């Protein structure tokens, strides 16, 4: 939700105004958010798969 409402909208406005420098910054922010989300998803998947083999108590 945040990705669409803030950085993507800013990217769209920057491209409409032909402000390519601002568009590059917004695109970099979108890529960073996607990378963080992908990393968290991979970590969650690894914990879900390996978690049953790691005794906690």
Q: Tens of pLDDT along the chain (57 residues)? A: 676 678 888 889 999 999 999 999 999 999 999 999 999 999 999 999 998 888 776
Rounded to 10 degrees, what is the CA torsion of 31, 36, 38, 44?
A: -170
Residue 15's pLDDT is: 92
Residue 41's pLDDT is: 96
Residue 55's pLDDT is: 79
How far is the C-alpha of 20 from the C-alpha of 13, rounded, in Å? Answer: 10
Residue 52's pLDDT is: 82
Query: Hey, is 1 helix, strand or coil?
Result: coil
Q: Write down the pTM of the prediction.
A: 0.74
């Amino acid at each position: 939700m945040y990705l669409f409402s803030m950085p993507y909208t800013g990217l769209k406005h920057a491209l409409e105004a032909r402000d390519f420098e601002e568009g590059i910054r917004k695109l970099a922010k979108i890529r960073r958010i996607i990378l963080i989300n992908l990393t968290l998803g991979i970590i969650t998947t690894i914990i879900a798969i390996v978690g049953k083999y790691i005794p906690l108590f």
